Structure 1
Amino acid sequence: MPSTLLAEPPLNPVHEIFHVDRVLKPEEITPPRKHKIIAVLPAYNAEKTLAATIADFPVGSVDEILLVDDGSKDNTVAIAREMGLTVIVHEKNTGYGGNQKTCYRYCLERGADIVVMIHPDYQYDARVIPHACGMIELGICDVILGNRVRSRAEALKCGMPWWKYVSNRGLTAFENLMLGQNLGEFHSGFRVYRRNVLETLPFERNSNDFVFDTEFLVQAVHFGFRLGDIPVPVRYFDEASQINFRRSTKYGIQTLTTVNKYWMNKLKLWKSPLFKPKG
């Protein structure tokens, strides 16, 4: 039985004296993990970048990799099966949010302690998985997001469209202010969750569209979970999946609407089902 994930980091300022070799030369350089970690990839037409995404996973960093295919028209499913991934296929496209719902239901049923969600388009660096999971295991955060926007120069140099950069910065600043957070980015396709987050949030009520991600984070704030982030390199290239300007505009409006629902619910002016506990 794996040890319980820390609810918060321990505060033990008093410790017996020990030799520094205990830190510099541990008996096991890579001690075995104590918690079950499942990585999920919500996929749609990802045949060109899937293998590259998986290749960056550090050896032994996860126990299982699940790909949920949302009605792809290419060879995503065949490649995933050839690579030995666990594969679930949606015969019809359910949408980005609908794909994630299937991912998280599977993880809860399989007893995952930590869930890593990463887009299979190689836009996010899978090498940071152990570091992000460590923040969960140490009890520092309940949700970790990959932050692509470490600086304006880097984001634009690496191909992020200027209009996407401006909207990302504007929405993130607004969400931080309205939700009392201090995240570098709210709109990341790399996320790590503690099991209790998925058990608590009524994510099945969320949209099946892209705004699912915003609704999920706003729910996490509502239910008192701790959000944090970790820097990841910016990767924008032709094969990386992106939503166009029209869809991005719709997503931005839906994000503003979701934050408004949060405050309407908080002020008890209107009860939204997004914030009603499960069951």
Structure 2
Amino acid sequence: MPAYNAARTLERTYADIPHEFVHKIILVDDVSRDETVEIARQLGLDVIIHTQNRGYGGNQKTCYDAALAAGADIVVMLHPDYQYDATRIPALIEPIAAGRRDLMLGSRFLGDPRAGGMPIWKFVSNRALTTVENVAFGLRLSEYHTGLRAYSRRLLETVPYQLNSDDFVFDQELIAQVVAAGMAGRIGEIAVPTRYFDEASSVGFRRSVVYGLSTLRVVARYLLHRLRVRRSAKLAARRPE
């Protein structure tokens, strides 16, 4: 769990995790100003503390490094803001455990995100970006911008995620790397209900505009790489055996 000021929602998120399917829970704190670390320790989580804020992407890098070092075969990334239904984790990881997928996304758009309170501007912008990404990547996903994901060890050892942005666009760069590595057919998704409420972390409109433009740059970089116009080190991952 990449965490930043998650004290108000961490316990509820933790309580929903089906612990019989999870062997270790790692929380990486990105210099929170609240009691996130104290609560995480009380819950018995493995806590890693950044001494300086590294951003959402930088936090995930630490999460995945720690999970791989701990010997994880499947790594689930869950936002600790209680926005995503953690009880869906068993269904999320099953295709990876069965060897059919290497990346699974918990999609809000396979259900009705508006029923969970998603603001209309988020709904429209998410659908627009997803359409662009599907065309560029040759996929038919319902969503790319989710805070509940699962990765196989093989995938995380294949793509050079450490080269990615330390900001929110990290997730989109990682998906571009997966596609560039020839693993597009190994991506799947399931429906995951979400909740929007005051305590849940949410990126504001202005930051969302920046994120959207950054996502479009990721798409452009991928297309230039695929067309061999401009090669990208981030996308030069080898295809696994």
TM-score for both structures, normalised by structure 1: 0.83
**Is this contact kept in 2: 1:49–1:120, CA < 8 A?**
yes
Partner of 1:203: 161
What residue identity is the alignment partner of 2:151? Y
Shift of 1:275: 1.0
Distance (whole Å) between structure 1 residues aligned to residue 33 and residue 52 of structure 2 = 11
Shift of 1:150: 2.9
Is residue 175 from structure 1 mapped to residue 133 from structure 2 by the alignment?
yes
Is residue 120 from structure 1 mapped to residue 80 from structure 2 by the alignment?
yes
Shift of 1:156: 2.1
User: Cα RMSD (Å) of the superposition?
Assistant: 1.1
What residue identity is the alignment partner of 1:138? A
Distance (whole Å) between structure 2 residues aligned to residue 268 and residue 42 of structure 1 = 35
- 1:212-231 equivalences under 5 Å are 212-225=170-183, 226-231=186-191
Count residues in correspondence.
236
Partner of 1:140: 100
Deviations 1:162-208 (A, max 9, x none): 11100000111111111011111100000000101110111111000
Shift of 1:57: 1.1
Structure 1: gaps (5+ residues): 1-40
TM-score for both structures, normalised by structure 2: 0.95
The percent identity for this pair of structures is 53
- 1:198-277 equivalences under 5 Å are 198-225=156-183, 226-277=186-237
Structure 2: gaps (5+ residues): none
**Is this contact kept in 2: 1:149–1:234, CA < 8 A?**
no
Deviations 1:122-177 (A, max 9, x none): 011111111111110112211000001235xx322321111110000011111111
More helix by share: 2
Higher relative contact order (CA 8 A, sep 6+): 2
Instruction: Specify the SS of the correspondent of 2:106.
Output: strand
Which protein shows a greater Rg? 1
Partner of 2:40: 80
Distance (whole Å) between structure 2 residues aligned to residue 218 and residue 135 of structure 1 = 21
Distance (whole Å) between structure 2 residues aligned to residue 101 and residue 238 of structure 1 = 28
Is residue 191 from structure 1 mapped to residue 160 from structure 2 by the alignment?
no
Distance (whole Å) between structure 2 residues aligned to residue 43 and residue 234 of structure 1 = 18
